Chain A
Amino acid sequence: MQWQTIFKKELTEHWRSFKWIWVPIVFIIFAIMDPLTMYYFPIIMDTVGNVPEGATMDFPTPSVAEAMIMSFSQLGMLGVLIAVVVSMGLVSKEVKSGVYELVLSKPVSFTNYITAKYVAILMLIAFSLAVSLLVGWYYVNILFGTISFIQITISILFFIVYFMMILGIVMLFNSFLKSQGLVAFLSIITVVALNVISSIYSHVITWSPTLISDYINVYFYSGQLETEIWFSSVSAVAITVICLITATITLKNKAID
């Protein structure tokens, strides 16, 4: 009951600030921009590039897998950035402005407060990812060739798991920092650090959650799902749960002080 109230309040708030419209649109643009420009690159060069007379250029057309991976990697960078920025103020803003104290003057449990906010933002991001990657898939299908619907669906689901972890990290920083900018900054630093570490030691920590996107790429090339992607997903979920529990405890301790 109580959980639903907070959840609904969050959803209306996201809706009022147009997040449900602009986040999906921006994600769609990210997803189709790269495949489009890659496909029309020769034409673009012909019309705007100063190609010297007689010079011939051969641009290999990227394969279907490469084109689809472009959409994913674009969302893996810019999409993560947007996801972090959209969720940076979820708790910290309310703590700073005093709304938080107002909410907690009623008997609201911290667990409900954190998880309801988390699920609401996760729904927004998951919806945006699914829609944008399906549109990207549609474009790739028209321009480069076919990728099966099952393959894209499975990839999207694993990609959402990756974003689950990112949002969990953002929630954790939200719980003990008041400045939104700092929340965003530290979250991005953490995600980048995780990415760098796991790509250096990718042969040792094959279960690292940031390798999910790498395994998705392999899946598009080979058509075979790596077993490691399951371990990566499990560790992503585990990190998310740890982050959310820690965030709840942090808020509890703050209330006692």
Chain B
Amino acid sequence: MDATLIQLLIPLGVLQLILIIIALIDLRKIDETNGPKWMWILIIIFFNLIGPVLYFIIGRRM
């Protein structure tokens, strides 16, 4: 029972980790963001799921 729970939760964690990592890679490459970069680093890391999504939607300077 508990083993399956962990097996089912691991992919979820991995996906969120990938999301955070690509958001950070993109943040490193990009010249300018809406708002200071350090703020986005904090948002991406500390707001699970919403943070990276917000960064991709409004953080990247369009």
Contact = CB atoms under 8 A, between A and B. Distances in A.
Interface of A: 17-19, 21-22, 25-26, 28-29, 32-33, 36, 40, 43, 82, 85-86, 89, 93, 139, 142-143, 180
A22 B12 contact: no
The main secondary structure of chain A at its interface with chain B is helix
Interface of B: 4-5, 8-9, 11-12, 15-16, 18-19, 22-23, 26, 49, 52-53, 56-57, 60, 62
Contact of B49 (A17, A29, A36, A142): A29
A32 B12 contact: yes
B18 A21 contact: yes
A26 B53 contact: yes
A22 B52 contact: yes
A25 B5 contact: no
- Kindly name the residue among B49, B56, B62 whose own CB sees the greatest number of chain A CB atoms within 10 A: B56
A18 B26 contact: yes
Contact of A26 (B19, B60, B62): B19
Contacts of A22: 19, 22-23, 52-53, 56
B15 A29 contact: yes
Given A18-B22, A33-B12, A82-B53, 14 more contacts: A17-B26, A18-B56, A19-B56, A21-B22, A22-B56, A29-B15, A32-B11, A36-B9, A36-B12, A40-B5, A43-B5, A86-B57, A89-B62, A142-B4
Given A22-B19, A28-B15, A93 B62 contact: yes
Contacts of A89: 62
B8 A25 contact: no
A25 B18 contact: yes
